[in-house]
Each structure stands twice: as structure tokens, then as C-alpha cells.
Amino acid sequence: MNIEYNIPLKPFNTFGVQAVAKKFIEIKEEKALYSLYDNGVFNEDFFVLGGGSNILFTQDYNGTIVKISSKGIHHFIEGNYVYVTANGGEIWNDLVWYCVNQDFPGLENMALIPGTVGASPIQNIGAYGAELMNFFSSCRAFDTQTGQFTTFTNEQCQFTYRDSIFKSKYKGRFIITSVTYRLFLHSKQNTSYGAIEEELAKRNIVTPTIKDIAEAVSHIRVEKLPDPSTVGNAGSFFKNPIVTLDKLNDLKSIFPNVVFYPMENGQVKIAAGWLIEQCGWKGKQIGEVAVWKNQALVLTNIKNATGVEIYDVSTKIIDNILKKFSITLEREVNVL
Ligand code: EPU
């Protein structure tokens, strides 16, 4: 077990904010978790870090940061399905391209989502008409309370929009060390999301391959979302709030242009980016924090913002939205 002390976390979070971890351990093979357990690491404060793309550090971390860096992807085909298993430290986008390059369809709409494989089930990542829960078969996870590995099926993960059992009942307890995705070998491409249709039309592509879709999605993301390697950010800072149909109708009577997506359960998701833009925040800058000019759901660190400054701006936004629309926005990022 190799513990490092007083490690600056700026390179380990895509917001690029400064914070120091008292202890830091990098895990390259899942079996190393046994020795962490035996040495009592999990009896004190610890936090598991993947790509650091969904986290806001607002203070130094006094416990142990456990960084999962285990790599490896393999697959097998069974009937009409291909099962692809990737270790937790793999970069999500590398997994997407592993699948695209072998013509395994399903994940291409989620190209270029930042982060790692191990983090992908935690908030049930999704983008451009696809959601992880529709491709997730199972994951292997280390139970920090018992020191044993266990397997979670899709059902056991209790996925809902940007949520799973790992964010609720089991928050902070399990470390996901590998994920198996089940892809349907002959599935139809999913191009129903307006922005994808438009991008394919611009490229004069009528019958897209999954590579065409992955490239189109990557292009849309690059155009619309800030690149964390140049502008610190953590993607969507807030979740799209879910409201009842009655609430939607109330909103429509005052704001006829409200942007929303119907959900299967009869409720609707309101586009938080729209709400934030309506309150005049799009492109606005306070000190070193700015709301992204092309997508108001994304907060950015211009250069030297602190986590607290970013958090304070997010609180101001939440207060504004509550006052104007009587809707409470929830943060999507983890605040530590
Ligand atoms: N909109 C505005 N102003 C804005 C942003 C959006 O009016 O500043 C309205 C527009 O009408 C736009 C609609 O909202 O058409 C939807 O915007 P977008 O397609 O960007 O999707 P989103 O609902 O804002 C979600 C995910 C993103 C994902 C996109 C694309 C959440 C919290 N966010 O955003 O995920 O890339 O859909 O599928 O669900 C992330 O989680 O980090 C992330 C970037």
C-alpha cells in the first residue's frame, strides 16, 4: 500500500480548483483494495475518485483520496448480445471508442462524456437520447464495510435519471471496480435527438454508421460544452428538475416557451439550462466564475476560482430560480 501525503488535487478535478488531500492512494489493481481494508483505510474518512469530472472541492480533504486507475477492457459475444467488461479506471470515452471501432452499437450517443467507467453507473450517465441504465448489465464492487467483493445487477442498482443506489442508500460504501455493459449486436442507431439529426444532415449523412454518430456527438459536445483541459468545469452543474404535469401547466401559463421533456412516469423534466438562461445568467461572470456562454447548465472556472466561489455562484442561481419559477434546482456535481 503506497500512501502519499499532502497531495494537491488540482490535477485530479476537471474544475481545476485547488485543494489538498491529507492522504492519497492510487489503485491500479482491484486486489489492492484488500490491503487498504486490512490497514483500516476505510475506518476513517475516505473518498473514491475517478476522473474527477463530477466533483467540486470546496476545502482541503482531511481523509484519504482513493484514486481508481485500474485499466483493461474485454468482451465476449453470446447470441445477439456482446458483453463488454471494463475496469473502473478506464476512461469512459476510450470504452465508447473500443465499442465503436468493433461495431458494437449502443454507447456511441454517449461519446466524449468525461469521467471513468467506474463512475458511470453512480449517476447513471446519459446524453443525446441514451442513458447508461439501458446498456448496463452488472458491476463488480468492493464493499468497504465488509472487505468483500460483490456484484450488482441492473435492477439492484435502482437507476433513475442521474441517480442510483450508489448515490442514495449505499453512498460512499462501495467502490466500483469493473462494469459489464450488454450491447445488442443488431440494434438500430438512435438518431432521434434533434441535435444529432441536424449534425448528420449538415454532414450529408443519410444512413449513419455508429462511428458517424459518435463523431457527430463528439462534435456537438465540443461546440457546446467547454473543454475541461482549457476551461475548468464539471459538465452540467445542476440536474434538470422533475415536476408534475400540474406544475408544468402552471409554468406554461406564465412562461409559454418553457422547455421540457416528458418522462415515462407521467412527470416532466424541465430544461434547467433554459431556467437559468431566463434569469439572465447565461454568459454572466462573477469574479473568476462564469456561466458557460453556450450552455447555462455549466459553471466554469475562468482560471483561479476557488471551490467556495463556484459553490456561492451556484447558490445564487438556485435562489434566483426558486424565486422566479418556484422550482428548486439540485446540484448534479458532488460537493466535498
Ligand atoms: N437550453 C436553453 N439554454 C441553455 C441551455 C439549454 O434554453 O443555456 C434549452 C434549449 O432549448 C435546449 C434544451 O434546453 O434545446 C436542452 O439542452 P441540451 O440539449 O444541452 O440538454 P440539457 O437537458 O441541458 C442534458 C444533460 C447533458 C447532456 C445533454 C445532451 C443533464 C443534467 N444534462 O442537458 O449532460 O450532454 O442533455 O443530451 O441531464 C452532464 O451531465 O454533464 C451533461 C453535459
Which of 52, 68, 84 is a domain's end point? 68
Binding site membership of 296 for ligand 1 (Cβ less than 6 Å): yes
Residue 236 Cα to ligand 1 midpoint, Å, equals 8
Same domain, yes or no, for 52 and 107? no
**Burial of residue 217 (number of CB atoms within 10 Å: 0-12, 13-18, 19+):** buried
- pLDDT score for 196: 95
Instruction: Examine residue 202 and state whether it is found in any structural domain, yes or no.
Output: no
The C-alpha atoms of residue 302 and residue 325 are separated, in whole angstroms, by 28
Q: Which three cell numbers stand for residue 50?
A: 475517478
Q: Is 201 within the bounds of a domain?
A: no
The number of domains in the chain is 3
Whether 189 has a pLDDT exceeding 90, the answer reads: no
Predicted confidence (pLDDT) at residue 33 exceeds the cutoff of 90: yes
pLDDT averaged over every residue in the chain:
96
Are 145 and 48 members of one domain? Answer: no
In a domain, 245, yes or no: yes
- pLDDT value at residue 186: 85
Inside any domain, residue 189: no
Tell me: pLDDT of 1 over 90: no
> What would the pLDDT profile of 234-291 be if each residue is shown by its tens digit?
999 999 999 999 999 999 999 999 999 999 889 999 999 999 999 999 999 999 999 9
CATH label of the domain that carries residue 57: 3.30.43.10
Side-chain-side CA neighbours of 44 within 13 Å: the count stands at: 13
d(CA 28, CA 159): 27
Closest protein CA for atom 7 of ligand 1: 274
Q: Are both 90 and 174 inside the same structural domain?
A: yes
- The rounded percent of the chain whose pLDDT value lies above 90 is 96
200 within domain boundaries: no
210-224 vs 194-202: helix crossing angle, rounded to 10: 100
Q: Looking at the domain assignment, is residue 219 inside a domain?
A: no
Q: Could you say which of 17, 50, 68 is where a domain stops?
A: 68
Give the Cα separation of 292 and 279 in Å (integer). Answer: 14
Q: Are strands 61-68 and 20-27 parallel, antiparallel or unpaired?
A: parallel
The verdict on 275 and 177 lying in the same domain is no
Say if CB 224 and CB 295 are below 8 A apart.
yes
pLDDT in tens, 80-105: 999 999 999 999 999 999 999 999 99
Residues 85 and 175 in one domain: yes
The Cα–Cα gap between 189 and 191 comes to 6
Same domain, 256 and 291: yes
C-alpha 121 – ligand 1 centre gap (Å):
20
CA angle in degrees (0–180, nearest 5) for 250-251-255 = 130
Both 83 and 35 in a single domain? Answer: no
Q: Of 163, 274, 279, 294, which is best to mutate to test ligand 1, by the most ligand atoms within 8 angstroms of its C-beta?
A: 274
Give the pLDDT confidence score for residue 165 in this predicted structure. Answer: 98
CA of 297 to the centre of ligand 1 (A): 7
Same domain, 115 and 29: no
Domain that holds residue 291: 232-335
**CB of 297 closer than 6 angstroms to any ligand 1 atom:** yes
Q: Confirm whether 194 is domain-assigned.
A: no
Mean pLDDT is lowest, of 40-49, 66-75, 79-88, 192-201, for: 192-201
Record the pTM. Answer: 0.94
